Structure 1
């Protein structure tokens, strides 16, 4: 499982975050986006080293980049920006990589942060790159295009679900199940709106297929997430963590996040007004 999880995390660090930052269209993020490889490269190396001081130091390099990114969120909030549902989704996307980096530093150090086992910490890293950053970013993009009740629900429920899952780590399995249910509802709404976006008149074939693929993948991956959370809370049979990494994790990374971001980059090129989050 370790090799697969590391590959998924590398996709998040090296591809998903910088691609997502470009999609925001925010000039203030250009500098951190250009510098991102300098932070992400040490982070990816840290994944493959034995736990210890060297791996921890490299993970801290990545954490520094995520903190610099996260600091944009309070600055934007204090200036009165991003109070809309799409804006809240954007703020969530800016902050969540730092949560992933904190888990990475602790796991590479071999420290059971807040009492969480190293395996859980290792899985927290991809979770907050994809269910955190990518999911919130795309929810915001979708809301910008469809600012009706469904779009606003998606843009608010994805950040809320992400927060509830994080809180559930500390409170217990039932709270985590509540977060998973909210997040699943939000992600399925994102999937529905993404599917509709793919059906729009004039959409080119490649973009249409990417949008359809990302929407379809969400049905399966979030059902897996919900089934795992139900099993953890109730004791009913549910997938193992290794199985979740190979299905839910890989599906969200490649089938959802990458397909979505590629589609939105194409939309930005062909229809720039559709792709801005701010």
Structure 2
């Protein structure tokens, strides 16, 4: 399981996070996105070292970068008096890597932070890179793209609230009990499915080419299966019924969310953003695009 989790986390650190930062605010986060792979390289390297001081020091360097990113959330977020659903989703995305990095430092040091097993700390790292950063970001993008459309618009706004809420509830469940974690899994699953449906029905058809539409379709379809697995595991932990092992979950739920959802989503939304910028050029023939090149955080 360790090697597979390390590959998933490395993908999140070196590509998914910086690609996602470009979608949040290209003007203000472009430099951060360009430099992020350098900041994340120590974190990726420490995954492949044995636990100890060198691995801990490298993890701490990555944690410092993640904390600096989280500190930018109040600056990047609302210049208005209210938090919109996309703004809440973006805030969750910006803060989530710092939670992942904190768990990484403790795990690399062999320290049972808050009494958690080292395996749980290790799995917290991919969870908050993907369920935290990527899922919240995509929920915000979908909410912004769908806007106030009847039916799917309300669903997308609910997703932008419930994905951050579900992620937080899962985290709190670690400290409470398995039933609290199950509640978080239910809320997060509902939020992720609420991302999938508008993606399939509204965003996917507006893709300018087959590749973009295929990436969006894949990301939406994968969520149905992977979040069912998450529910199965959470129910099993709370009730004791037969459920997948952590190793099996990493190979199915984890890998599916990392490649099928997160990677496909980020690639698709970057293509949509590029199409929008091209369409905005005065010498380009206008066409309908479902998104903008950033997540709007004000009404």
Aligned to 1:102: 102
Q: Is the 1:158–1:187 Cα contact (8 Å) retained in structure 2? A: yes
Across the aligned residues of Structure 1 and Structure 2, the Cα RMSD in angstroms comes to: 1.5
In the alignment, what sits opposite 2:212? 207
Structure 1 match to 2:194: 189
**Structure 1 residues 83-92 or 72-81, which shifts more?**
72-81
Distance 1:230 1:83 in 2: 33
> Tell me, what secondary structure is at the counterpart of 1:271?
helix
Deviation, structure 1 residue 81: 6.9
Contact 2:86 2:160 in 1 (8 A): yes
> Partner of 2:68 in structure 1?
68
**What displacement does 1:26 show?**
4.2
1:179 to 172, 175, 184: 184
Distance in 2 of aligned mates of 1:216 and 1:187: 11
Which segments of 5 or more consecutive residues in structure 1 lack a partner in the other structure?
none
**Other-structure match for 2:295:** 277
Matched positions, count: 278
Task: Pick from 155, 166, 169 the counterpart of residue 174 of structure 2.
Answer: 169
Structure 2 segments unaligned to the other structure (5+ residues): 148-152, 278-288
Superposition pairs for residues 1-278 of structure 1, below 5 Å?
Answer: 1-77=1-77, 79-80=79-80, 83-147=83-147, 148-201=153-206, 203-272=208-277, 274-275=291-292, 276-278=294-296
Instruction: Choose 1 or 2 for highest CA Rg.
Output: 2
Give CA-to-partner distance per residue, 1:177-220, whole Å, 9 cap, x none.
00000000000010111111354256311111100001010001
State the alpha-carbon separation in 2 of the partners of residues 168 and 118 from structure 1.
17
Cα separation, 2, equivalents of 1:112 and 1:24: 34
More helix by share: 1
Could you tell me the TM-score, scaled by structure 2's length? 0.90
Q: What is the TM-score of this pair, normalised by structure 1?
A: 0.96
